[in-house]
Structure 1
Amino acid sequence: MSDSSKRRRVAAQEPTSTQLGQRRGMADPREAVKARARRWAQALRDIEDPLKDLTAVKRGVRGLLDVCKNEENLDDAAAEGAVGVVVPLLKKLNGGDMLAQEQPTVSGVEELERDICFILGLLAIKVEHQAAICEAGALPTLVSMIRRYAAKNDVHLTGVPAQTCRRTSDAITNLAHENNSIKNKVRQEGGIPPLVTLLHSVDPKVQRAVAGSLRTLAFKNEENKNIIVDLGSLPLLIQMLRSDDTTIHYEAVGVIGNLVHSSATIKKKVLEEGALQPVINLLSSSCTDSQREAALLLGQFATAEGDYKHKIVQRGAVPPLIDMLGNDDNQLREMAAFALGRLAQNPDNQAGIVAQGGLLPLLDLLETCQSNLQHNAAFALYGLSDNEDNLLEFVREGAVQRINECELVVQASKDCVNKLMKRLQDKMGSRILGQILYVMQSSNPSGKQRIAVALSQLTTREQPSGAQMKLIFVEKKGLEVLLEMVQDPHMPGDLQRMATKSLHRLADSIQVTERPSADEMAPPEPKGSTAEVILSGQYVNSPKMSDIKFIVEGRPFYAHRIALLASSEIFKTMFEGHYREKDATTIPIPNIRWEVFEKMMHCVYTGKTDVPPELAQELLEVADQYMLDTLKQLCEQTITDQLAPDNVSAAFDLAENYNAPELSKQCALYCLREYGEMVKFLSGKGGSSGSSPGAYAVTMQKMVPRLRDAMLEAINHKADAMVS
């Protein structure tokens, strides 16, 4: 829908003002234009009786027209008084507004009228000149001239009359462009009925010109729209849709589009008159402007009462609309997506659009950086996602991951995509899941990968259910597909990155990414005992009630057997078993530094301690040596917080050496989460650009077993929890 197809512009055949100035050696090219406009305007002012000196009038009008044919010159021509000269001249040539509807009797007058209307139409291209032309009184004269040609009842206008009629109509079009006040004045002056009459002209240029005027007058003007329809214009406009002349059917579809906009009543009349099929046919027009307008109009027809969404598809609209999505013209693509979005509100259409290849070109539009294209594509994709039969195609064609990767420009598109993803997630529990899994198992490796990635990106903490999660990722081996992707050194970087993102999404959905809370790190009750030992930090290295002494770096460290017995199986065995420490009062500690031992004992007594990063590795070692689970978890947390591309591999090795599975898992999750930083570092150890998927895969190979164990345990736990 637009105010007018193209404002009636003339291609600049004239040299530009700059070129003229250069040719004539003038310092200021604009001054040359102003001088020409001023000379011709003054020459016309000096003519007292135009009808007695038509030759001079013709020379002056032609000179001024030559200036105005170059759009760069319009402001200068207006500034030199062009409007104030040509409007009164037009009136004088006609002997007044009312006489303008009479055929001129003096030879040559009609040619002058034509050229003056041409000038007015050109000046009206600039919005700022529209009001000046109307204030000078041009509109009543122009409407009277249109009446003149309509009154002839001659559809075979030719020659100068046809030319003058066309230029008059063009002037009205440009004056009324995006100016509702002037549209109303045209109606009040009685300009609409003669324009409708002139639609019957067999001269294609006249027919096109008056259709352009009606199109402009109908745009967002309800009274004008109703008059145009009431005058019986619809049958002829619909016939014009079938014209082989692209300029004719373009204007006709534009008029109908503006008539239909925001009017359910007119839309109904247009459809009853048989507009549907010819509009669909225009989708295959050689004129992209006509295609665009037809697509927009079909989008409006799709909301009409009755089953028009279905009828439009049945009559063949979908294939050309899908073809238009791949056109280089962005406006054409935008309108095609708009129409498909409206059609996709019907369940059968949703499946049909996807079956005919509409999914991938809509995804292409979503990936552009243009907000209008993105939003219309997002709306259409949202409609397609409503049919659960389409879920298989969204998954199989990689649509889910492409949608998630899009950088959307406006919030409305983001909201639409969020609803789209939520809709796809909701359908994961439907009957279609079995079909998806069947296709995954029977596909080639790349097909398996696309489906596994998509399914993982559709998981949330709420869905699919635990049983379905186990079916997808354990029984049907979706998890194994993803794990193979991240540790395959030959995997292309973009697929490897997608797999890491998908695995991390899945890990979050099954809560593998959760880190232990403070409560979960509380010291466990010692086995074989129901006694609860509570000692505060004041007893750490306190001789008060001490019954055991450790020698650390040559210094005594006082302790209490009861606290040690409750903290660790190692201490329990040491003090209750058949070891020499059982009855000892002093025990040497040869391999632990004082500050490390002190931190360890603080954790033994209080269940907590600060773990500085510089001591974390030593504390982890002693935590493993003495089986102090709480201290080990605290060390794991500290080391996890310090993970970076240059230390994560060493941290994983440390975790493996000292039996710290939580740290091992967190190292693997870090590599998934920080994929970009990891490959950047691995490509040049942080010093060069580029990426190294192969080196990343090698790093992941040693981490995958731990990651697999953690994820399988979480999936099985979720499935078992649902059963219980």
Structure 2
Amino acid sequence: MSNGSDTGERKGHKRKLADALTPPAGCSEASTSGDPESILSQVCRLVEIIKSFTSRPPDNVDRLTLRRAAHGLAELSKTEGNVDQVVAGGAVEAVVPLLTHFPGPDQDPLVASGEEVEKEACFILGLLAIKQEHQHAIADQVALPGLVALLKRYVPFMGPPNPGASVVRRAADAITNLAHENVSIKSRVRTEGGIPPLVALLESYDPKVQRAAAGALRTLAFKNEDNKNQIVECGALPTLIHMLRAQDAGIHYEAVGVIGNLVHSSIHIKRTVLEEGALQPVIGLLSSSCTESQRESALLLGQFATTEPDYKAKIVQRGAVPPLIEMLGSSDVQLKEMAAFALGRLAQNSDNQAGVVQAGGLPPLLELMASRNGNLQHNAAFALYGLADNEDNIAAIVREGGVQCLQDCELLVQPSKDCVQKTLKRLEDKIQGKVLNQIMYSMNTADRIMQHRTTTALARLGREQDLKTIFIDRKGLDILISILTDPTRDPTTLREAAGALFELAKKANATAPIDCAPAPPTPQVYLGEQYVNNPTLSDVTFMVEGRKFHAHRIALLASSDTFRAMFDGHYKEKEASTIPIPNIRFTVFESMMRCIYTGSVEVTPDIAEELLKAADQYMLEGLKRLCEAAISTGLCTNNLASVHDLSENYNAPQLARRCVLYSLEHYEDMVASCQSGNFAALLHRMVPKLRESLVEQLLKKETASV
């Protein structure tokens, strides 16, 4: 059984870095628009300026001019369409040396390190790394050691007034973009020693630095087990858990994202996180005003729920279910998806299943089955599968219309289809004993919607041995028929009632093919095909459409009461040697006689109805069943009414039964092709025969089982 959709680690987000750095005083910004050649020309000019300074000692650099040139490159790089020209113009080779060009931390960083230049350099690299194809080019220019060196340089200055905060924030953002969806760069960041300073920066006094460091760690932890382990070994968990309680939404959003990626696929880290006390603050984030934090915390709770069996109950006991259910009604699709994911995991615990339903989780989960989002739909389906495991929930699922919802929802992916089929089978297995009695009690209500939901559900899922009790003794069949023939009901209700009656008919074997075996009461004399219209030993001749048809009284006497009365009674035909047959075509009469002589005949569509009339006239029950079977195979929406009239006019009950079953099986097509009043009138005529047939079959089943 699938554990919901494949929901797990969440990628760290690329840093869009759209906020502009403060331009140096007197800086004339580069033009960010123009043709590629113009942009490339500007880039080359700025690159030359930067290279001219990086070739000099730090003390001999005009830092203001250098910063202006770097800022110009940054402005060009902020337009994504320019990025390729910026890289082609040599910006990476020019900018990377700026990361390590100025003195280390033994001097005042605001004065000696060229902080503003470094900030511009980090900003440029982060912008260029947004395009994945440039990530390796930047890393290969030894950018990672420079970025990590900046992080380490400013770690000692995390307290107020927090100098260098903007540098480390931009450096962390650049690492985030470089490592985004890039497995090798994530590992290179670790080998360059980038994880320890990022963990240390989680405790910065500057909330922007905390967010940037957490964002980088989140990206580095995504699908990289070695990075996950080192982040934990560096002591990040206690700080991250403290950050979950932060007032700053950006901080707790990034923190819960880091923890989510750390615990994925690692039961050891998951247990460690829980032991450090993460459970309650994560539950608290379900009620955050930050949608992103709500989403990530729901995902994380779903992951926590698989740690050990008792954690499913702990999560519920600590108040997670009400906010998760509230999230199901959000307009944010991803938020609903994560809430359904968490509830699905929690609902695999028997102690939680009744609680989720009691807290109102069933209606919104059923509503999500109509979603056009495959993951959302599947997470809801998995949650419902769990809820259906508890007998206390079955009646509630039925009363809420859950059976109809699961039967009729349009499922987008195969795992969802498999899940729903297993849920319906689980419901079917549990609808017996006290659960069945509880559902049948709901049939007695005056609430028409409740009656409809319970009877249609039982028609689809009730066990064969319970059908007589439900639909005859407890009048369930009359309820379904009253729904189907009630013109005040809405189209969906009528369609569902028709479908339920057809399902009930299938279970009662009322939909079995028409029995074409010869009727046993009258002994048959089959002379054989060679005697059909053969004058040899013929003792009677029929005149049909002016043509003679030779027959043998012995075969006719044994075939039907009509011929027996004709030849043994007081009719003039008794002594006649030639008998006229009016109103029957020769080909029809010949087919009738062939059936009398052989016990069977091919009933072709062109003669089926006429042959049925003849079979009824001459009381040939075996031939009549052959005709009923042949006509029933040609039923369609256009001829249903006329065929039903035929069945009534010529006493063909099995054909009449097939007509009403066809109308139920193809209910929507019938409604679409007929005027509603005409079809309603036809149903009223047909339904009594269906009731009679179903009662007969259900009683027969009970007798057979006894």
TM class by shorter chain equals over 0.9
Q: Provide closer, same or farther for how the CA distance between residues 417 and 11 of structure 1 changes in structure 2, counting only shifts above 3 A.
A: same
Note if contact 2:179-2:219 (Cα within 8 Å) is conserved in structure 1.
yes
The one of 123, 127, 130 aligned to 1:122: 127
Q: What SS is found at the alignment partner of 2:443?
A: helix
Equivalence for 2:137: 132
Where do 1:503-514 residues align within 5 Å?
Answer: 503-514=501-512
* Residues 237, 256 of structure 1: 8 Å contact kept: yes
1:187-336 alignment runs, 5 A limit: 187-336=190-339
2:414 is aligned with 1:422: no
Paired AA for residue 703 in structure 2? D
Q: Deviations over 1:357-397 (max 9, x none)?
A: 11121122221122111111111111111112211122111
Aligned: 1:43 with 2:38: no
The 3-state SS of whatever aligns with 1:558 is strand
Q: State the alpha-carbon separation in 2 of the partners of residues 100 and 186 from structure 1.
A: 22
Measured after TM superposition, the shift of residue 432 of structure 1 is 0.5
Tell me which residue corresponds to 1:82. Answer: 91
* 1:597 counterpart (589, 593, 607): 589
Deviation at 1:239, TM superposition (A): 1.1
Asked if 1:612 corresponds to 2:621, the answer is no
CA distance in 2 between partners of 1:562 and 1:678 (Å): 47
Is the deviation greater in 132-141 or in 154-163?
Answer: 154-163
Contact 2:262 2:269 in 1 (8 A): yes
Say if 2:110 and 2:164, in contact at 8 Å, map to a contact too.
no
SS of 1:93's partner is: coil
What secondary structure is seen at the aligned counterpart in 1 of 2:184? helix
Q: Which residue of 2 aligns with 1:59?
A: 68
Once residues 428 and 337 of structure 1 are traced to their aligned partners in structure 2, the CA distance between those partners, rounded to angstroms, is 26
1:486-521: per-residue Cα shift (whole Å, max 9, x none)?
A: 2222222122122222222222222211112xxx42
TM-score by length of 2: 0.93
Equivalent pair of 1:50/1:57 in contact (CA under 8 Å): no
1:637, CA displacement in angstroms?
2.0
Q: Assess if the C-alpha contact under 8 Å between 2:295 and 2:334 holds in 1.
A: yes
For the residue of structure 2 that corresponds to 1:193, the secondary structure is helix
Structure 1 pair 358–192 and aligned structure 2 pair: CA distance change class (3 A): same
CA contact (8 A) 2:221 2:227 kept: yes
1:524 corresponds to which residue?
519
- Contact 2:471/2:478 (8 A) holds in 1: yes
2:486 counterpart letter in structure 1:
D
Q: Is the 8 A contact 1:192 1:228 kept in 2?
A: yes
1:166 CA displacement? 1.1
Taking the aligned partners of 2:110 and 2:653, their CA distance within structure 1 comes to 104
Say which SS state the counterpart of residue 550 (structure 2) adopts: strand
The alignment partner of 1:522 has SS state of coil
Query: 1:143–1:191: 8 Å Cα contact kept in structure 2?
Result: yes
Kept after mapping to 2: 8 A contact 1:537/1:602: yes
1:92 and 2:98 aligned: no
CA distance in 2, matches of 1:638, 1:100: 97
Q: Does 1:146 align with 2:141?
A: no
* Aligned ranges 1:551-570 → 2 under 5 Å: 551-570=543-562
Separation of aligned partners in 2, 1:308 and 1:25 = 55
3-state SS in 1 of match to 2:487: coil
2:24 alignment counterpart: none
Please report how far the alpha carbon of residue 312 of structure 1 lies from its aligned counterpart in structure 2 after TM superposition.
Answer: 0.5
Deviation by residue 1:64-95 (Cα, 9 ceiling, x = unmatched): 1111223333223222221111012333335x
Q: Are the aligned partners of 1:548 and 1:560 in contact in 2 as well (CA < 8 Å)?
A: yes
2:175 corresponds in structure 1 to 172
Tell me which residue corresponds to 2:492.
Answer: 494
CA distance in 1, matches of 2:10, 2:540: 95
Deviation at 1:240, TM superposition (A): 0.9
Equivalent residue of 2:542, what SS?
strand
Could you tell me how far apart the structure 2 residues matched to 1:105 and 1:387 are? 66
Distance of 1:709 and 1:599 partners within structure 2: 32
1:46-74 alpha-carbon deviations (Å, 9 max, x no partner): 43427322122111011111112233332
Q: Distance in 1 between matches of 2:106 and 2:671?
A: 80
Matched, 1:473 2:471: yes
User: For structure 1, which segment, 711-720 or 654-663, has the greater mean C-alpha deviation from structure 2 after superposition?
Assistant: 711-720
TM-score (norm 1): 0.91
Structure 1: 5+ residue stretches without partners: 15-22, 684-691
Aligned mates of 1:197, 1:11 — CA distance in 2: 26
Alignment-derived partner of residue 19 in structure 1 = none
Call closer, same or farther: CA 1:31–1:480 in 2, change over 3 Å. Answer: farther
Q: Give the Cα separation in 1 of the matches to 2:171 and 2:684.
A: 79
Cα distance in 2 for partners of 1:573, 1:398 equals 59
Instruction: Give the Cα–Cα distance (whole angstroms) in 2 for the partners of residues 281 and 102 of structure 1.
Output: 44
1:661-689 deviations in whole A, cap 9, x for unaligned? 01111111121122222222224xxxxxx
The answer (yes or no) to whether the contact 1:636–1:660 under 8 Å persists in 2 is yes
Report the 3-state secondary structure (helix = DSSP H, G, I; strand = E; otherwise coil) of the residue aligned with 1:549: strand
